[in-house]
Amino acid sequence: METIALAEVAAVLADPSRAAMCLALLDGRAWTVGELAAAAKIAPSTASEHVTRLREAGFVGSVKQGRHSYVRIDDPRVAQLIEGLAQHADHRPAIGLRTSTRVRKLEFARTCYDHLAGKLGVALRDGMIAAGLLETSSGLALTSRGRSVLDGLGVVIEQAPRRPLLRECLDWTERREHLAGVLPAAFLRRAVDAGWLSRDASRAIRILPAAQEPFALLGVDSSLLDPARSPDLVGTRR
């Protein structure tokens, strides 16, 4: 039965259009069927059929907002599965400069479902622990100092049923843990809204100059945020 189940899961992602739609959804946001059709370069009617297949397989869920219906990944475990497969694919030998640059951007900083991953994501976890904002003596937990710093940065942490505040997520490029859960998702939303970070269409995250101060408060080494260190990966002033 496990072999059959594994084959069924593999079959869902074997179709290039469904794979493209899943990669688009991996940014953690809700998409319309039309937007997914554009991302996969297929007709909306065909995209609708693929969304139905993904929904039946438990890969996606639907949410309604007024007259509009959106599709998103509801289960972080699904996102982790797709993330792992995507990184496995990205670590095949790069073909051409454009592909190589995209891979390096994703390795540096990217979204993993709705939280920050890559070198920057790992650095955020390490920095918060070193600065005493997180403690690990009895499992990963936010300290009172950490909550105070996040409050000062305007990070709004909302309760989510069946989802932990914090958990560790193995980073497929760094081979070390970054932060996942309600808190890291809230931080990424705040970072984008505040102009500390920006997203691009490939899930890569760009660091903007405004990130220097808040990330320093979170214990991230300023050398990682230095534009001179990786000018092709770090955003320019807006």
Q: pLDDT (tens digit, 9 = 90+) per residue, 214-238?
A: 999 999 988 888 655 544 544 444 3
Q: What is the pLDDT of residue 87?
A: 63
Whether residue 92 sits in one domain with residue 59: no
Residue range(s) defining the domain that contains residue 106: 80-225
- The model's pLDDT over 137-156, given as tens digits with 9 standing for 90+, comes to 888 999 999 999 999 999 99
Domain edge (last residue) among 55, 74, 93: 74
Residues 53 and 112 in one domain: no
Contacts of 138-145 with CB under 8 Å at 24 or more apart are 140/166, 140/167, 140/168, 140/179, 141/166, 142/166, 142/183
Q: How many domains does the chain have?
A: 2
Q: What is the pLDDT of residue 3?
A: 58
Together in a domain, 136 and 169? yes
The verdict on pTM exceeding 0.75 is no
Let me know whether 6 and 99 are in one domain.
no
- Residue 230 falls within a domain, yes or no? no
Q: Rounded to an integer, what distance in angstroms lies between the CA atom of residue 49 and that of residue 44? A: 9
What mean pLDDT comes out for the span 93-119? 74
pLDDT over 70 percentage in the chain: 84
Q: Domain containing 35 — which CATH number?
A: 1.10.10.10
Shared domain for 52 and 85, answered yes or no, is: no
pLDDT in tens, 174-186: 888 999 999 999 9
> 132, 143 in Cβ contact below 8 A?
yes
Q: In the chain, what is the straight-line distance between the N-terminal and C-terminal CA atoms, in Å?
A: 54
What CA–CA distance (Å, rounded) separates 150 from 145?
9
